[in-house]
Chains A and B, each alone.
Chain A
């Protein structure tokens, strides 16, 4: 297994789980940016922001963000641009929303715990100076992508409203 296999599994698993965003008319078809960090961005319809899944090949790990576009796509903007965050960790947004949505905190904890369980296997491989198995990577990405899809189905409207308020749109 090498980088291209990790990228392929990432694109395959997240596209499968998040396809509903496009078919339901919630988002535009995704744009893909490949590199050491491979990014898939779904822009919400009629909004200047979207969801970004960002894979760091070297870590075999995916971060989910709500991103302000096109600011977040600029070359040197990692998190902050023009004095404000242009990337918000989805988990961070959910923590804020959890204060008013009581069903959310237990789901967020379960998401983190499920992903951590799979990610431990990746870390174990690295500690043995080996690449993780394809099966381990696929299970990790599938689990995370299923949770992201679930969260967007359940709390998509609240997330969009939060982003509008945050960026004053």
Chain B
């Protein structure tokens, strides 16, 4: 589909004077039509959030049996090249607090996306191990209302 879109944009550019503007318009339009991508720590959270937002996740590109670190790296570069909006729902604070473990892959994704203009955050953080996203981490609010810090 993307290949078809690319051909269409080039044809417009060939036919019109000021083809650069047409290419830019086409790219903006394509970007609007592309669904956003959700990243975050813990794929269960990521998928639950993506379902609610009608967004996509890495699982729409790479099935888990075929997953490798290298493919994950390439995927991040691909979604940036396509100009997709990327929504980061943040760390899984509960898991970090319980296991002391942070995801190396998620950290890599964040590093790569740093400075990308369409990289958005949708989570709160008020302590190293406290925070979350209200859609997939309702426990955050549960803990707060229960009077815990």
Cβ-based interface call for A63 (8 A):
yes
When the two chains form their complex, are residues B142 and A80 in contact, meaning their CB atoms are under 8 A apart? yes
Q: Which residues of B contact A92 (CB under 8 A)?
A: 98
- Say how far A18's CB is from chain B's closest CB, in angstroms: 19
CA distance A123 to B104 in the complex (A): 6
Q: Is the interface of B mostly helix, strand, loop or mixed?
A: helix
Q: How many residues of B contact A (CB 8 A)?
A: 37
Mask: chain A, 110-140; 1 = CB below 8 Å from B; 0 = not: 0010001001001101110111000000000
Q: Given A80-B139, A122-B104, answer yes or no on A129-B43 (Cβ-Cβ < 8 Å).
A: no
When the two chains form their complex, are residues A78 and B73 in contact, meaning their CB atoms are under 8 A apart? no
* Chain A residues packing against B (C-beta within 8 Å): 1-4, 7, 34-38, 56-59, 61, 63, 75-76, 78-80, 83, 85, 89, 91-92, 112, 116, 119, 122-123, 125-127, 129-131
Could you list 30 examples of A-B contacts with CB < 8 Å? A1-B68, A2-B65, A3-B67, A3-B68, A4-B66, A7-B65, A34-B64, A36-B57, A36-B58, A36-B59, A37-B43, A58-B58, A59-B104, A59-B105, A59-B106, A63-B95, A75-B48, A76-B51, A78-B45, A79-B137, A80-B138, A80-B139, A89-B95, A91-B98, A91-B99, A126-B69, A129-B69, A129-B70, A129-B108, A131-B70
